[in-house]
Structure 1
Amino acid sequence: MTRDDLLHLNSLFRDEELQRGIDESGVGIWDLDLSTWKLFWSGPTRRLFGVPENTPVSYDLFLSLLQPEDRARTESAIQRAIETGCRFDIQYRLRGTPEGSRWVRARGGLVINDDGVPRRLSGVMLDVDDQKLIEEALLAREDHLRSILDTIPDAMIVIDDHGIMQHFSTAAERLFGHSEHDAIGRNVSILMPEPDSGLHDSYLARYKSTGERHIIGIGRIVTGKRRDGATFPMHLSVGEMHSGGKRHFTGFVRDLTEHQQTQAKLQELQSELIHMSRLSAMGEMASTLAHELNQPLTAISNYMKGSRRLLAASTDPNVARIETALDRAADQAIRAGQIIRRLRDFVSRRESEKRVESLTKLMEEAGALGLAGVREQNVMLRLELDAKCDRVLVDRVQIQQVLVNLFRNALEAMAESPKRELVAASRRASDEMVELSIADTGHGFSEAAAANLFKTFFTTKETGMGVGLSISRSIVEAHGGRMWAETNDSGGATFRLTLPIASTEDLPDVV
């Protein structure tokens, strides 16, 4: 060993108490002589590598104790430190230790002699296995959290207080068309059309200066912009959080395109149902009026004809004019009866567009229409439908008109009930018919009302016309079924109706 080597080692260990303290702390010391490539390890370093005190150490031994995949980058880091004088800091895994593979961190620096020539590379060795285990656990949790977030159908975007995107979920990639790589680091305003795109930074600045919330914690329907420039309606909910002393905002975005299309379809169906309801009501009234008015109109015509015969013996000079007036009045009475009959025939001749339909789908759509806007009333709808008799041969609009009317009647009947439960069920009534029932927990009906429920113009409502149930029964009977009502065990009403099950030859028509 040269004199310089002894001086260097003496300088490393001149303070025995300090060295003892370092050894007790588990921090190892290492020294590599660049002229001879001799390696020195302190006791803690030997223990980290699992090398006994009496075993000579060398640079080659050091490399052989590393995992094969870590050797090349370790040699490269040492060479770079020697050539550039940069600090040496690298982590690698050991193999062949009693505890198995473990992580070690080596830190050091270049020692240069008086002539400016690199003399040795010295430093410390740290056991970072526990730290690595914690890091791996954190990475695993992060990956697990990311996998969970990736399954959320709503897009999630995290921005800093300058509007720069920090996180862009998989759902956001699908929704907006931007990749995570392209989105992160860019201003979130690229996801908005004008004027919001140009004003978003001012929105953030206003919130930071005033604290006044316009959307944070509230949620709002806004317009988003996809990568191709297309816009779409979306619901945006924003939350605020603080991490690392910095403020961040997390936005959850739900695409409302399909929702609005569904709403438009339901509104179209509702308009069609209202139109059909009016036509049906008109037909019921026309039929009733024809029945009720034909008799008195015929009597009026007969009285006028009789009056004309009585005038035949009169010598009054105005007899001719009176006879003419009576003839015209009788003709108008007959014409009135014909108009009513033609009106009744017109509205009753509408051909039903019967097709094979899914009873489940009919019930779900009718429920969406009939129960629209009643979430706050705490009404629970339960469907108990028999899948074995789901296909029926019906006019979709007419049957939905019946179901919507029954749902609406049930809601009104349960308005004051503490329990508001609506059960729509189906079961096979025969080989050809399926029976539907809609039961509520409302006030029910009296025996006197039960006898008149389906009569035209009979109603228990203050503002009702009394044609809904009458029209419904007519529609069901036109389908070859029947409709009736009964009181159920809860004291509410149960309305039942039968419809024809689609035959086997009709099934190919199902869309």
Structure 2
Amino acid sequence: MVVIDAAGHILSFSAAAERLFGYSEAEVRGRNVDLLMPSPDREKHDAYMARYLESGVPRIIGIGRVLIARHRDGSTFPIELSIGEAATPEGRVFTGFVRDLTERQAAARRLQDLQAELSRISRISAMGSLAAALAHELNQPLTAIANYLEAARDLIAQPGAKTSDAAIQALIHEAVTEAAGQSIRAGQIVRRLREFIARGESEKRIEPLGKLVAEAQALALIGNGNGEVDIQVDFGSAPVSVLVDRIQIQQVLFNLLRNAIEAGGNTPRKRIRITAQPCEGEMVELVVEDDGSGPGAEAARHLFEPFQSSKAEGMGLGLSICRTIVEAHGGRIWYQPGDNGGSAFHFTLMAGALEGSDGN
């Protein structure tokens, strides 16, 4: 529990908060509560407070929310925050009740393992069903193509046959024409299947960029028990909102963040940077960059292809799924080597028009 005044200064810091954040109450009493927040919330917190005090419109008070907190050593971790407000003779105070979500890491890891295994089995089953259906649908036109072409070959190869003979020419023409027709039919089957797969339900809405990233960041950190992770967020002058299907884009961010965390291997502290900037065509460019070792040159050329993975147990579908989602949103995704030798994944989204909102 953390109690602050209307200016954001810490009045009370519970023993549990001391253990959670690594500060003693004596160290933080009287200091701004923003020292417990990573960027960009740290720089914006005073403006959030001023806006609420002026407008009286709550954006987080009374509403539980998953956010990112900052430890004394600079590492970040996911929390669930609920804020209450009270009037006292000394003025208005705000009480924050913080729940450390990393306490559930063991259970979350086990759940993720089970979900991953279930997902793997489901994918294998779905792929098997898809392959069987595709083979069944394509078998008829492919068999017909083979039969027609074999018939044309046999007509040409008949002893004494003259390809200049009008009757033989007509038969060959008919066989080749039918083979061409069946090949078009096979292409239509594949195209229909692709359209069916791509026709998933997608509900695009204007969403606050800060909230999208914060929630995906918190989800990616849950279950990470291999070293500390320091995630820096810098939106610069990027638009505050994007036009997206929230769940799908958070899946993209989650996949990229988990890859970034895993790229750090067993290093005691991993550093990840999330940036956003406006780009041409009313788009926003987001970048997730890590300080890992990065893929080799050959692997980098096939990163977004399905079933291409540098992980021993990976299915190689994560980045392929990311590309499908981003392109369905009218954007594009690409890889570049990071400034620190790691990986930087860039993707673009359509900017929204949600004025005056930052997701807090």
State the identity as a percent: 38
Residue in structure 2 matching 1:302, options 132, 145, 149: 145
The SS at the match of 1:457 is coil
Give the superposition deviation at 1:486: 0.8
Partner of 1:353: 203
Partner of 1:396: 246
Q: Which runs of 5+ in 2 are unaligned?
A: 1-8, 18-95, 106-110, 155-182
User: Alpha carbons of 1:152 and 1:356: their partners in 2 closer, same or farther (altered >3 Å)?
Assistant: same
Amino acid at match of 2:350: P
Residues 1:494 and 2:344 aligned together = yes
Give the superposition deviation at 1:489: 2.5
Residue in structure 2 matching 1:472, options 319, 322, 332: 322
Give the Cα separation in 2 of the matches to 1:373 and 1:351: 29
What's the RMSD between the two structures over aligned residues? 4.8
Question: Structure 1 length normalisation: TM-score?
Answer: 0.37
User: Alpha carbons of 1:381 and 1:293: their partners in 2 closer, same or farther (altered >3 Å)?
Assistant: farther
Residue pair 1:297, 1:334 contacting (<8 A) in 2 also: no
Give the Cα separation in 2 of the matches to 1:439 and 1:334: 44
Give the superposition deviation at 1:338: 8.1
User: Alpha carbons of 1:501 and 1:343: their partners in 2 closer, same or farther (altered >3 Å)?
Assistant: same
Partner of 1:152: 13
Amino acid at match of 2:215: E
Give the Cα separation in 2 of the matches to 1:257 and 1:382: 21
Give the superposition deviation at 1:344: 3.5
Give the superposition deviation at 1:419: 5.2
Give the Cα separation in 1 of the matches to 2:245 and 2:207: 8
Give the superposition deviation at 1:302: 2.4
Give the superposition deviation at 1:347: 2.4
Give the Cα separation in 1 of the matches to 2:238 and 2:211: 14
**CA distances 1:205-238 after superposition (whole Å, capped 9, x unpaired):** xxxxxxxxxxxxxxxxxxxxxxxxxxxxxxxxxx
Amino acid at match of 2:318: G
The SS at the match of 1:351 is coil
Partner of 2:228: 378
Give the superposition deviation at 1:416: 3.8
Residue pair 2:243, 2:351 contacting (<8 A) in 1 also: yes
Alignment of 1:199-210 (within 5 A): none
**What stretches of structure 1 move > 4 A for 4+ residues in a row?**
153-156, 254-260, 292-297, 304-310, 333-343
Residue pair 1:482, 1:497 contacting (<8 A) in 2 also: yes
Give the Cα separation in 1 of the matches to 2:218 and 2:259: 15
User: Alpha carbons of 1:413 and 1:152: their partners in 2 closer, same or farther (altered >3 Å)?
Assistant: closer
- Between the two proteins, the alignment pairs up a number of residues equal to 230
Residues 1:463 and 2:318 aligned together = no
The SS at the match of 1:400 is helix
Residue pair 1:286, 1:340 contacting (<8 A) in 2 also: no
The SS at the match of 2:313 is coil
The SS at the match of 2:273 is strand
Alignment of 1:96-175 (within 5 A): 151-152=12-13
User: Alpha carbons of 1:299 and 1:388: their partners in 2 closer, same or farther (altered >3 Å)?
Assistant: closer
Give the superposition deviation at 1:477: 1.2
Higher relative contact order (CA 8 A, sep 6+): 2
**CA distances 1:83-114 after superposition (whole Å, capped 9, x unpaired):** xxxxxxxxxxxxxxxxxxxxxxxxxxxxxxxx
Give the superposition deviation at 1:298: 3.4
Amino acid at match of 2:221: L
Max Rg structure: 1
Give the Cα separation in 1 of the matches to 2:246 and 2:294: 28
Alignment of 1:68-467 (within 5 A): 151-152=12-13, 298-304=141-147, 343-386=193-236, 388-417=238-267, 420-430=270-280, 432-467=282-317
Residue pair 2:326, 2:332 contacting (<8 A) in 1 also: yes
Give the Cα separation in 1 of the matches to 2:312 and 2:279: 36
Give the superposition deviation at 1:412: 1.7
Give the Cα separation in 2 of the matches to 1:257 and 1:464: 32
